[in-house]
């Protein structure tokens, strides 16, 4: 029997806890059959008060190991050596002027993109603001001045001036009961859904429905000097 853990959604202490479409924690249970492991359903009921369009997560895999692509990073952004952290500065670096690099907006993309399946990753935002995060089409514009919106191939949320907003044409205001320190981005390429959650409580923040065409990549925009976003690496798999 596995280590006793408490499900953050159901509030139950269980052995070798569950694979849960709400909290997305992945806990294998050893099987005596030829299959090396199987998965248990989460005992927690789904939140019936959530908007009907809010995505029911369908994730039965590990969290993505997202790293940042230095060839896309704006010159004012500093990436950590392990490429899991990005910080905004007011001193542009001297970098090759590659066609894939953002040259006006202080953005950077994830190294890998996705065309199918479900994926998720966690981003530590801490207590700073002046950032946006989500996903963008690999083919979306990166040069010059342009609008960020789903119509232009970017699905993201932002925190600026103490207000959370959806990055869309209306810059829709989001009402959050508390300020998350870590945000989970959930991408379902096949169903056309991008969802955002408080990664510590799994409280929903916002969701977009989309029609993806081609590859989409993790997207990060940091414009407030001194603000950092940190990508959380996957946890070791339980045996």
| Residue 86 pLDDT | 98
DSSP 200: T
| Residue 16 pLDDT | 41
Measured distance CA(53)–CA(149) in Å, rounded: 19
Measured distance CA(182)–CA(230) in Å, rounded: 9
The residue whose two tokens read 């600026």 is 160
Comparing C-alpha atoms, which of 239, 222, 232 is closest to residue 90?
Answer: 222
DSSP calls for 27-88: --EE-SSSSSEE-PBP-SPP-TTS-TTS------SPPP---B-TTT--TTEEE-TTS-EEEE
- Domain limits for position 32: 1-44
| Residue 10 pLDDT | 39
Measured distance CA(153)–CA(113) in Å, rounded: 14
Tell whether 31 and 114 lie within a shared domain.
no
Tell whether 24 and 111 lie within a shared domain.
no
CATH number at residue 94: 2.60.120.920
| Residue 91 pLDDT | 92
Tell whether 95 and 182 lie within a shared domain.
yes
| Residue 178 pLDDT | 92
Assess if residue 49 is contained within a domain: no
Tell whether 108 and 195 lie within a shared domain.
yes
| Residues in the chain, pLDDT under 70 | 1-62, 236-239
Measured distance CA(127)–CA(228) in Å, rounded: 10
Assess if residue 39 is contained within a domain: yes
* The total number of structural domains that make up the chain: 2
Tell whether 132 and 221 lie within a shared domain.
yes
Tell whether 123 and 217 lie within a shared domain.
yes
| Residue 236 pLDDT | 61
Token readout for 61 is: 């895999």
Assess if residue 54 is contained within a domain: no
pLDDT tens figures, 72-89: 999 999 999 999 999 999
The beta strand positions in 58-215, using DSSP E, are: 77-79, 85-88, 107-109, 118-124, 131-137, 154-160, 163-166, 173-174, 182-188, 193-198, 204-209
Measured distance CA(159)–CA(131) in Å, rounded: 6
pTM given for the model:
0.76
Tell whether 40 and 93 lie within a shared domain.
no
| Residue 100 pLDDT | 94
């Amino acid at each position: 029997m596995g280590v006793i853990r408490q499900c953050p959604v159901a509030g139950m202490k269980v052995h070798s806890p569950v694979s849960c479409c709400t909290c997305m924690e992945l806990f294998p249970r050893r099987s005596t059959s030829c299959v090396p492991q199987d998965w248990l359903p989460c005992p927690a009921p789904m939140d019936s008060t959530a908007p009907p369009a809010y995505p029911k997560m369908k994730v039965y895999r590990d969290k993505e190991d997202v790293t940042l692509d230095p060839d896309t990073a704006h010159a004012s952004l500093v990436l950590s050596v392990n490429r899991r952290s990005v910080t905004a500065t007011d001193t542009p670096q001297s970098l090759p002027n590659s066609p894939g690099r953002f040259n006006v907006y202080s953005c950077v993309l994830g190294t890998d993109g996705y065309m199918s399946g479900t994926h998720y990753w966690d981003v530590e935002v801490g207590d700073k603001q002046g950032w946006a995060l989500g996903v963008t089409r690999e083919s979306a514009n990166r040069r010059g001045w342009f609008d960020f919106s789903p119509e232009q191939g970017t699905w993201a949320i932002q925190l600026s001036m103490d207000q959370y907003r959806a990055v869309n044409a209306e810059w829709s205001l989001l009402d959050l009961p508390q300020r998350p320190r870590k945000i989970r981005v959930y991408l379902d390429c096949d169903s056309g859904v991008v969802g955002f959650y408080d990664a510590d409580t799994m409280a929903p923040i916002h969701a977009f429905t989309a029609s993806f065409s081609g590859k989409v990549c993790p997207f990060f925009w940091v414009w407030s000097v001194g603000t950092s976003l940190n990508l959380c690496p996957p946890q070791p798999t339980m045996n």
